[in-house]
Amino acid sequence: MSAVLVSLDAGVLTITLNRPEKLNAFVPDMHLELRAALERAKDEAGIRALLLTGAGRGFCAGQDLSERNVAPGAAPIDLSVSLGSNYNPLVRRLRELPKPVLCAVNGVAAGAGANIALACDVVIAARSASFVQSFARIGLVPDSGGTYFLPRMVGAARAMGLALFGGKLSAEDAERWGLIWRVVEDAQLMLEINKMAKELAEGPTKGYGLIKKALHASPGNSLDAQLDLERDLQRDAGLSEDYREGVAAFMQKRKPAFKGK
Ligand code: LHQ
């Protein structure tokens, strides 16, 4: 059985983490299959939005902890190898994909699973879902971008509390704290996110890619640098076909037919 299910419909590539009996914990195959899907999303012009979710009752429980023998007395393991070859490239791929990435957190998102969700552009969670920075509970440091995303999204005090105590943050609190975009009822999750993904897949894809670039660069930039970046990105956006179409549609009081270029 594939560790990841992939389907393409109306410009939306849906990627479903598929180890439901282990709450979709990461194993190397899952990383390989995710990598292939993200490469495909980058290369295929017909893919204009990505949707990441999990099969079963969980979203993703992070690294599969049964994979490595870390029993007392076992040979030491260098975890940086796995981060360097699997998790860090995954976060970079999600962030650098010049197309919108939506994430439907259908259940618990723990460890690297929580932070992979935060690396997506728009996160919607089911009301019963939760976010767990479980790393400290096993003596580890939040990874997969956690120490980058958390303080920027929820502030230093909340980031430290989440990281040190490793407790569950409910989807409602995650929304209230600004960690995610929105909470929806469990039964509505896929309906809502599919609607949003479809809307984005019909949008000005090139412009969306430039918006991602601008907002992702912002936390590390001075106002001066950000103004310069906006100027440069707007030049690119202004040269797109979709800009012309957007303005024409506005003037003609009709719905734009964006082509994504
Ligand atoms: C699992 C897991 C799991 C295996 C649930 N592995 N089986 C990167 C680089 C290299 C190495 C180290 O790590 C990293 C990054 C990381 O992600 S480290 C953090 C790893 N993740 C965790 O520490 C979370 C561990 N899981 C939990 O704390 C709980 O399972 C949560 C809070 C996610 C859910 O709790 P429950 O809803 O009560 O479910 P459960 O604990 O009963 O889990 C259901 C099954 O899934 C169970 O299997 P079983 O055969 O007993 O039914 C768990 O053993 C299995 N499972 N997470 N990460």
The whole-angstrom separation of Cα 17 and Cα 3 is 6
pLDDT of residue 201: 98
Of ligand 1's listed atoms, the one at least distance from the Cα of 130 is 32
Of ligand 1's listed atoms, the one at least distance from the Cα of 57 is 37
Residues 21-48 pLDDT 10s: 999 999 999 999 999 999 999 999 999 9
Ligand 1 pocket at CB < 6 A: 22-23, 25, 61-66, 79, 82-83, 87, 108, 110-112, 132, 134-135, 138, 140, 143
60, 65, 67, 88, best to mutate for ligand 1 pocket (most atoms within 8 Å of CB): 65
CA of residue 75 to ligand 1 center, whole Å = 22
The whole-angstrom separation of Cα 178 and Cα 193 is 18
Residues 205-223 pLDDT 10s: 999 999 999 999 999 999 9
The whole-angstrom separation of Cα 2 and Cα 187 is 25
pLDDT, mean of residues 182-187: 98
The residue with tokens 């039964």 is 187
CA 111 to the chain's CA centroid = 14
pTM for this predicted structure: 0.97
The residue with tokens 């390989």 is 32
pLDDT of residue 177: 98
Residues 154-179 pLDDT 10s: 999 999 999 999 999 999 999 999 99
